[in-house]
Chains A and B, each alone.
Chain A
Amino acid sequence: MHFFIQELVNGLTQGSLYALIALGYSMVYGVLKLLNFAHGDLYMVGAFIGYFVIQWFGGPMALSVPVPLVLLVMFVLAGGGVGMLGVAIERFAYRPLRDAPRIAPLITALGVAFLLENTMLLLFGASYRDYNTSAFISFSTGIHIGPLNVDIVRIMVIVLSIVLMFALTVIVNRTKLGRQMRAVASDREAAEMLGINVDYTIAATFFLGSALAGIAGVMAGLVFNQIYTLMGFVAGLKAFTAAVVGGIGSIPGAMLGGMLIGIAESFVTGYISSTYTNLIVFGILIAVMLARPTGLLGRVPLQKV
């Protein structure tokens, strides 16, 4: 039972990360109908920004400022920086192709992902880097009941993700920007005719989605300690599937899908074998996509002719 709960918590942690990345995928897909392959790499860039914030404050062993401030700066810089990067990518790689055949922006997205990965490789090398979280956050704080250990970092990640998802829901459902985003997502041309600044709305969507990915990257660094330049690709793949499993374009769907995939992965690792984790998870994903392409919470899109 303890093992079950432990794995569940691990799955929820991993799932929160997937959910945060999946939200960005889902939002971008909603407004542009574009599978942004570079999104996973934005997550990786976020993790690196967090790493350099720690180094900047004197390294994990000798932080010069209080830990909460460091965390705040990490999240803000990673979110803001990666958000801006996302906006830049949209502006320069995707905007010129907005009216091109569907396949063109997809291939461009592949190119952007590849370029981003290898630029980071050029700048920072292929070696693993260590957040060394335990040096400045004590893992002994948190919930400990018998053999069950839920450390403070995991609690923080889960709580913060829920807060972020809630905030995003409010933005999309209650604000003017959210209304514009929904309008652009359902019909871009009609939205434009109604006086919505489509370019601005799409850029804002990219900013929000990318910022979430950047924050997820910092969280990944805090939880798993190790970051590297190729960490984004597979995480991005799984997150996209999380978005699809939940129902693309749906925010609660992305959360649900992310959590489900995180938990599935964690249970496969815990109960079956870590060697087959990816294989089994990919298998589940293919099965879900074939059986219900609209996802759990998605609606069947009506096709106009």
Chain B
Amino acid sequence: MSVEPKDPSIGVDEWVARSAQRAEYAPGWRGQAQRRWERIGWWPRLGIAALAGAAVPLLTVNDFQLQIGINALLLALLALGLNISVGWAGLLDLGFIAFYGFGAYGFALLSSNQLSTSGVHLPAYASVPIVMVGAACLGLMVGLPSRRLIGDYLAIITLFFGEAFVEFTNNVATNKLGGPNGIVAIDPYKAFGAQITTNKGYFYLLLILLVLTMAALHLLDTSRTGRAWRAVREDPLAAEMMTIPVNRVKLMAFSFGAVVAALAGTVFAAQQISVFPTDFDTTFLILIYAALILGGAGSIGGAVLGGLILSVTLDGFLRSPTQSGYLFYGVILLTLIVKLRPWWRLIAVVAGTAVFGLVVHAIVHAVSASAVAGGPQSSGWIADLVRNWVVVPRNPAAAGNVGFVLLLGLLIALVQVRGRWRTVLLVPTLYLSVCVWEGRLVTVPAITRQILIGAILIVMMNARPQGLLGSRRVEVV
């Protein structure tokens, strides 16, 4: 919620004053750090981030962790591409995933035995540009409807395009495209006799590509085209009046996004050695959207950060019950610490939840011993800590389902009530969420992951539409 400026000085437009106030630095060391960070310019900042990324393989211990890193970089790259049409140009492109698929399939066809018996095995410096040019053309084609359709119509037509891509690769020319069996035995990235085969190699390749894309997009963002995109997003009609070629600008947004996605697709295909139609379904599209929304649509750093956070969270932590526990409790505690002010409310809530849990556990235990016999389904020291605190019955699945529905109801109620009652209601909500987590969600990480993505989209849009790093859009009425 924006605070009204205290006294708008004469001669200063109200929303200028408000946006200036919004842009003001936070007080204390945070503002100082922010100021210093901003003073060093964009390319040293990018360089620092790149160096930090390059240090990651030195810290990882196995290929699995590197794979998570690769997935994270891929998602970041995709979020960057999506940011062009969604964040900058304001065009809701729900067929974005098809460009990614096009890149992957294009690379796969040009570097495998799929097209002819002896196969086409182009080196990367030939195949990747071909695929990128193809994607740019495809982007133009898909973008064409944006000349006539806006908003929801454009969204649905691009969504059809995305769905059609999956149908196409599944059903058409199955001897070439492989149908549901996909394309396997794809060459690695190779050029001038050298080739990348290790995960570490792909990690560095992706890191370099990501940094280059970020730099290119930064230059694009501050260019005439970038400003034109934002003008079209805010008000197409006004942009047209200002002699911005609206249609061409929109098509460019689609094309640039497609190229970035296709680039990510080629690396994906080469690293996985195989591509399947199901790699490019709507679920993954929504993941990219969640990454962009989480990080902040319209901001390069935001898109990358969202991709990295989401991917590392979902792939890295949600795999093992112990680590997902760290994530779950960590996020809850962090949210409480950030959101609950002053400090005594925080302490009251945490202590209240602890006591509430003990009391509930004691009552339930007295009524029926089997109702608490399940114990936490996770493992590790957190599980031991909450063992005699959470209520998990012997058959946790059914009770967990009921608890989950109840939890949704409680969360909705929590949004509705205000003031003191919200603090009071927070206690049972927290406790129930821990019970549901320990009893049910931790046992089904795949579904938990999807639920989390859906929740991120809804919560971010309602609570902080500008994302973690984006700047709030100034609405002029």
Residues of A bordering B, CB below 8 Å: 29, 33-35, 88, 92-93, 96-97, 100-108, 110-119, 121-123, 233-234, 237, 240-241, 244, 275-276, 278-279, 282-283, 285-286, 289-290, 293, 305
Contact = CB atoms under 8 A, between A and B. Distances in A.
Interface string B409-422: 00010010000000
Contacts of A286: 145, 157, 160-161, 164
A293 B168 contact: no
A115 B455 contact: yes
A290 B145 contact: yes
Contacts of A97: 461-462
Contacts of A34: 152
A246 to B, nearest CB: 14
A27 B51 CA distance: 53
Interface string B128-152: 0000000000000000010011011
B92 interface: yes
Given A103-B90, A110-B457, A290-B148, 13 more contacts: A29-B152, A96-B462, A100-B465, A101-B475, A106-B92, A107-B289, A114-B453, A118-B454, A122-B401, A123-B405, A279-B172, A285-B160, A289-B145
A122 B171 CA distance: 30
A107 B149 contact: no
Nearest to A294: B153
Contacts of B405: 119, 123
28 contacts: A33-B152, A35-B156, A92-B415, A93-B458, A101-B90, A102-B151, A103-B86, A105-B461, A106-B92, A107-B293, A111-B461, A114-B453, A114-B454, A115-B451, A115-B455, A123-B401, A237-B159, A241-B156, A241-B160, A276-B172, A279-B164, A282-B160, A282-B163, A282-B164, A283-B164, A286-B145, A289-B149, A289-B156
A40 to B, nearest CB: 12
Contact of A293 (B153, B160, B289, B462): B153
Contacts, number: 134
Interface in B386-418: 401, 404-405, 408, 412, 415
B167 A278 contact: yes
B250 to A, nearest CB: 14
Given A92-B415, A103-B92, A107-B293, A282 B167 contact: yes
B171 A276 contact: yes
B155 interface: yes
Given A88-B412, A103-B90, A121 B450 contact: yes
Contacts of B121: none
A266 to B, nearest CB: 18
A112 B160 contact: no
A96 B156 CA distance: 23
Q: Which 9 A-B pairs have the closest CB atoms?
A: A111-B457, A115-B454, A114-B454, A35-B152, A118-B450, A111-B458, A108-B461, A279-B167, A282-B164
A108 B168 CA distance: 28
A240 to B, nearest CB: 6
A233 B92 CA distance: 18
A279 B441 CA distance: 37
Contacts of A101: 90, 465, 473, 475
Contacts of A121: 447, 450
Nearest to B152: A35
B361 to A, nearest CB: 24
B470 to A, nearest CB: 12
A234 B163 contact: yes
Interface string B98-117: 00000000000000000000
